Structure 1
């Protein structure tokens, strides 16, 4: 099966390509570096020629209101080109609980991306994943100084990017879901505790202070970004991943 992977040179995309190749599929990575620009549509027609499935893993360069325009334009171009090319399946990666955190502009933008796909002309699948293990360092950096990291106690259910990639690849080679599959990590952590676990494992002597108003995840209420019943639970545990 030929599968076009938009954003195929990024963290998730490159791993999706590797998983698909290992399974015997013709997975072709596309990105700005390969001459494909979803914002303008440049290179899309050629990239989708002969593809049975397109996986869109491109991401907005910002988390603010500008992300809405990014997802609107890129999805409109992608779906128009996919319909013209006769692509039979379009897959995107979204976020568990995105529709339950309206206070975050980026989460609203991901819901917009989902809605455009659902209303579009191409059979579709949406994979919603929880936060990546690899994202934890960035989260800690947002509210840190030399001595202290301030974090809310927001519950997170993080997972390894490798597990996300496998989940996306599995959906990409199957029939369109015409719906959403949730994937999540094996364990739920309060974010402040996750910070303490991370710093201790790395020998970082900074202190984590619980601050319910600190950082992006302070806008998340309750268990909004925890996977629901029926989610696929990934095998990799955070503490094991930290020590590898």
Structure 2
């Protein structure tokens, strides 16, 4: 089976490509640095020739409201059109647990727009919603930093390792389209402020983490369960503490 992975040279995409190849599939990494640009359409027709499945794990280079909306709308529209022309029979996209509950955020409005385009495309589809990756904890801290203080809402989160996300994306890609959402999360539940505090301490980062119930998360205010998956989520094997120990 030929599977084209859009964003296939990035953190998740490269791991999805490797896993699919290990299981005997023809996995092709597609990204601007391989000559495929979903914003311009460059290389799409060529790379999709003979493809049965497309996996989209690409992300916007900018999180500014207008830029991120333009990225996901343009990229997804071009990709779905090319897939229809190529006869692709399964579109898989990676998104985020809680996207529909985070619509005060420009980034998550853009992800919701991406999902709606996929659902309306007529191409059989599956969405994988992941909780935030261990590797993205630094980005969360940076987005919430004011001076030497990191302000975060004390709400629950179940972060997940990128390897575990890639495994679920790969399995979803080679399975039948689910016309719905598959969720994946890590094995441990933390408070968001506690999680980032642990991560910064492990890096000897001197910033102070403060619990603030009204602190925005990429522009959206959080409730207790906003970032949590439902009861049927696939649960990864890798614990945050073990991953942190490996980073040292």
Class of the TM-score when normalised by the shorter of the 2 chains? over 0.9
Name the structure 2 match of 1:111: 112
Q: Is the 8 A contact 2:152 2:217 kept in 1?
A: no
1:134-145 equivalences under 5 Å are 134-144=135-145
**Residue 98, structure 1, aligned to residue 70, structure 2:** no
Could you tell me which runs of 5 or more consecutive residues in structure 2 were left unpaired when the two chains were aligned.
none
Change (3 A) 1:147 1:74: closer
CA distance in 2, matches of 1:85, 1:49: 6
Change (3 A) 1:158 1:50: same
Q: Which runs of 4+ in 1 moved over 6 A?
A: none
CA distance in 2, matches of 1:145, 1:69: 28
Q: CA deviation at 1:215?
A: 4.7
Q: Is the 8 A contact 1:143 1:150 kept in 2?
A: yes
CA distance in 2, matches of 1:142, 1:115: 27
CA distance in 1, matches of 2:148, 2:42: 47
The 3-state SS of whatever aligns with 2:118 is helix
Name the structure 1 match of 2:85: 84
Alignment coverage as a number of residue pairs: 244
Residues 55-105 of structure 1, C-alpha deviations (whole Å, 9 max, x = no match) = 111111222232222111111111111111111111000111100111111
Give TM-score, length-normalised by structure 2: 0.93
The 3-state SS of whatever aligns with 2:39 is coil
Q: CA deviation at 1:34?
A: 1.1
Could you tell me which runs of 5 or more consecutive residues in structure 1 were left unpaired when the two chains were aligned.
none
1:45-194 equivalences under 5 Å are 45-63=45-63, 64-144=65-145, 147-194=148-195
Change (3 A) 1:147 1:109: closer
CA distance in 2, matches of 1:84, 1:28: 18
Q: CA deviation at 1:211?
A: 2.6
CA distance in 2, matches of 1:194, 1:51: 40
The 3-state SS of whatever aligns with 1:187 is coil
Q: CA deviation at 1:40?
A: 1.5
CA distance in 2, matches of 1:188, 1:92: 25
Q: Is the 8 A contact 1:79 1:121 kept in 2?
A: no
Residues 4-36 of structure 1, C-alpha deviations (whole Å, 9 max, x = no match) = 011100111011111111111110001001111
Greater mean deviation of Cα atoms: 147-156 or 110-119: 147-156
The 3-state SS of whatever aligns with 1:243 is helix
The 3-state SS of whatever aligns with 1:167 is helix
CA distance in 2, matches of 1:67, 1:15: 24
CA distance in 2, matches of 1:91, 1:184: 18
CA distance in 2, matches of 1:99, 1:206: 31
CA distance in 2, matches of 1:131, 1:6: 20
1:179-218 equivalences under 5 Å are 179-216=180-217
Q: Is the 8 A contact 1:65 1:106 kept in 2?
A: no
The 3-state SS of whatever aligns with 1:8 is coil
